[in-house]
Amino acid sequence: MHQVRDRRKKKQHKASTKTLYSTFNPHRCYSNMSTTNNTGVTINDLFYTLEDLDKDCWVRLLNGSLKSKDEFHTAAVATLHNGNISLRTMVLRKVLVQEKQLHFHTDIRSKKWEELQQSKNISLLFYNAAAKMQMRINGHATLHYNNAITETAWEKTGVSSRRSYLTIVPPSIPSAVPTSGLDEAFAFRNPTQEESEAGKHNFGVVSVQALSLDWLWLHHAGHRRAFFDYEKKERCWLIP
């Protein structure tokens, strides 16, 4: 009798699992952004619907751009070049919440700048270990050079950061000796404001238009995952 019931239960479980996975499609969301969805997740005693969560992600990213100690201050940034993926850490410099844009600064002589000229596809990965929260953003990059955006960003860049743009030889060029690539004058001190201006012609801004955001929250009672598709204006929960 027990065996029959067990077998029936197993069959039911198999059937429900089959249904679950056969309808799963990572590129399809089940709730449109304009519809109300009252399912949600409770984080630190606060209840978040998908809509709340989307807003919360962007507030967290904004904070990351503003606070150097915030774990969302840096991202792993991936680019594509001739079918090869390159990853590197970059500082998140600016976030435009409404526009869903993120800005990064770099040397226009760098490999990533060249790679982004070939393909605007870009992926950003953020992880906050304390909050146990990961965000993966896929988007399109726009390269800014010698325009109003780089002008404002350069003016806000302090001399210690400007120093990075003063290497005599471009980044990634092989060297016979380990070196910073800087003029010896700047080996142990920052350039003055006036000296730092020489780096301006190497300075560029990469702005990223987010097309989707994949959110994952690790939790002992079961992880939670959500997906926001900004192109299709859809959002949904995903199986983590």
Ligand X SMILES: Cc1cc2nc3c(=O)[nH]c(=O)nc-3n(C[C@H](O)[C@H](O)[C@H](O)COP(=O)(O)O)c2cc1C
- Interacting residues with ligand X (CB under 6 A): 74, 86, 88-91, 104-107, 110-112, 171-172
Residue 236 identity (one-letter amino acid): C
Smallest distance, ligand X to C-beta of residue 163, A: 13
Least distance to ligand X, CB of residue 158, Å: 13
Nearer to ligand X, 40 or 171 (CB): 171
Q: Which residue has the tokens 């699992």?
A: 17
Measured from the CB atom, the residue of 26 and 181 that comes closer to ligand X is 181
Q: Yes or no: say if 134 and 127 are a contact pair by the CB < 8 Å rule.
A: yes
Nearer to ligand X, 48 or 202 (CB): 202
The alpha carbon of 234 is separated from its chain's Cα centroid by a whole number of angstroms, namely 19
- Residue 59 corresponds to which amino acid? V
- For residue 87, the minimal CB distance to ligand X (Å) is 8
Q: For residues 61 and 126, is the Cβ–Cβ distance under 8 A?
A: yes
Considering the complex, what minimum distance in angstroms separates the CB of residue 131 from ligand X? 19
Give ∠ CA 187-77-218 in degrees, rounded to 5. Answer: 120
Reported in sequence order, the residue ranges of 98-144 that DSSP labels E, i.e. its strands, are 101-107, 121-128, 133-144
Of 10 and 88, nearer to ligand X (C-beta) is 88
